[in-house]
Amino acid sequence: MDKLVQLGRKAWFVVRVMSGYEQRRIRSYRLQLQQRLEQAQARKEEVRKQPEQVILSEVRQVVQQMQALKQHFEEAETAIEKIFNPIDKNAQMITNMQMEKEEAQAKEMAKVMRDQIKMQRELAMRTAETTAAEPIDTQASETAAESLPKQETGK
């Protein structure tokens, strides 16, 4: 009976091979193995990418924190500018006033120096005029000075 069962199995196998059933079954099995292999590789790739994804998510968080910090700094900067704006205006006014005072002082000093130079020129011209007229006067005063001692001695 075993021989008959084995003969039946072989016959059945031959029928399946001939009909293409066995070939389709082999292809199906091979396709299932290939799909399992691809799924295993995909899981392996996922596991390999997982640390990259963790790192990328951490980098994204850091970038978001930095952007939030930058925005916070900008807000603080605008608040500080608002606070110091009146102070800057006052400081500008003070510096303008000081500059105006310094300019006025410089103009006054320039005027005083011009007046002084004028006076020195006039004085120099007067002394030049007097020194030009002095040789004649000095001769007359010398003769008068010589005659005075004689008169004094005669007394």
- Summarize pLDDT for 28-50 with one digit per residue, the tens: 899 999 999 999 999 888 878 77
The two structure tokens encoding residue 53: 């994804």
Q: State how far the Cα of 119 lies from the Cα of 122, in Å rounded to an integer.
A: 5
* Residue 155: per-residue pLDDT: 44
The two structure tokens encoding residue 16: 């399946």
Let me know if 22 is exposed, middle or buried by CB neighbors in 10 A (0-12, 13-18, 19+).
Answer: middle
∠64-69-72 over CA atoms, to 5°? 130
* Residue 26: per-residue pLDDT: 82
What is the model's pTM? 0.35
Q: Once rounded to an integer, what is the mean pLDDT over residues 121-138? A: 79
Taking CB atoms within 8 Å and a gap of at least 24, the contacts of 136-139 are none
* Residue 134: per-residue pLDDT: 61
